Amino acid sequence: MPGLEITDDVGKRVLDGLARVNVGRVEVSFPRAAPREELYRHAESLGLRTAALARAVPADVDAALDVEPDEIEVIVNSSDVQLEHALGKTREESLDLLRENVERAVEGGVAAGATLMDAVRADNDHLRAGARVVRDAGGRHVTLADTTGAGDPEAVRETVAAVADEVGGDLAVTIHTHDDMGVATANAVAGVDAGADSVDATVGGVGERAGNAPLEEVAVLGSERGDDVALELPELVPACREILDALDVDYEGKPVLGREGYRHESGLHTAAMLREPSTYEPFDPERYGAERELLFGRGTGSGGVRALLDATGLEATDEQVAVGQEALRDAAAERGEPLSREAAAEVVAEAVES
């Protein structure tokens, strides 16, 4: 994320939160540029599996080996446009670099995998060749990255299926998406549907340019679909909020994390939700460590007031409901904001009983 500097202290707080959620692995740093050894050791103490990033360059792999991670992720361009203008190599030359550096990591005694950058815009035959190279060099997984965020779900499914059908069972396949077109979460899930074993994600979607697939969105959507989500889901929302607080990144307007997503004030909504919360909720917030908030005020109709009274055990006539409704509107106007469920129930009960 442009302008975001992560000190060791902040990094440790982030790792603490990720351990709380029990993520599968953490890409800690690019050691050639920033070793961050203290963060590797902190992650290790928390039981987190660490990965170090390295370009397909021997010096990068050696720097990664020096920080003693659990894995090294060798990164190489795969689309023709990036091979020509970013790497300056042919397809065959890039495969040679990939082979050499995955082997170098494995020979250094560390598990290795590779990220094929800009995979969605790459030729599928070249991607399959790259995956075979990773497998034959002793790698354990291959990550397919939609580096520019140019893909849509259909394109991602096609890309992942091409590789998963080739090496599935020999290599784990990961999908890595960006949100430049606003479909990072949808693309990540499409990748899973096409055979990806795991998803690269970031808390709050924090990442390059428009960001990555948000961990919390992918986790909730996957869980609600019935996917096997290997996270501590009851810790998801509070842990992700703590991480973004540590990074000083606002999340109130975000799906899953923002509190506004769990607040309901419309009279029609609150009346129904007092009877059955799923009426206007896509998922139970408590399952992920969040909390719904029903608000009552000037927009609350007679149905909402009656539901409040029913919840307190009071049987009210239509006239009493109207009295309670007026009292609730007055209370909200006086406070300048809607009331919580508890406060609203107290106001209407007092008005009806007086």
User: For the segment 271-293, what is each residue's pLDDT rounded down to a tens digit?
Assistant: 788 889 999 999 999 999 999 99
Residue type, 240: C
Residue 178 DSSP label: B
Which long-range contacts does 5-8 make (Cβ < 8 Å, 24+ apart)?
6/247, 8/36, 8/38, 8/39
* The pLDDT value given to residue 68: 98
Q: Which of 144, 29, 15 shows the shortest CA–CA distance to 79?
A: 144
The SS3 call for residue 172 is strand
Distances (CA, A) of 163 to 44, 148, 169, 343: 31, 19, 11, 57
Q: Where in the chain is the domain with CATH 3.20.20.70?
A: 8-247
* The pLDDT value given to residue 219: 99
Given a cut of 50, the residues of the chain with pLDDT beneath it are none
* The pLDDT value given to residue 354: 75
Residue 28, C-beta contacts closer than 8 angstroms, at least 6 positions apart? 36, 39, 40, 43, 50, 51, 52, 67, 69
The SS3 call for residue 254 is coil
CATH 3.20.20.70 assigned to domain 8-247? The reply is: yes
Residue 24, C-beta contacts closer than 8 angstroms, at least 6 positions apart? 49, 198, 230
* The pLDDT value given to residue 59: 99
Structure tokens at 161: 């299926």
- 27, 49 in Cβ contact below 8 A? no
Maximum separation of any 2 CA atoms in the chain, in Å: 85
Q: Which residues pair with 110 in a beta bridge?
A: none
Structure tokens at 58: 């021997």
* The pLDDT value given to residue 1: 66
Q: Please give the Cα distance from 46 to 5 (Å, whole number).
A: 22
- Give, rounded to a whole angstrom, the gap between the first and last alpha carbons of the chain: 58
Q: Which of 215, 189, 180 shows the shortest CA–CA distance to 201?
A: 215
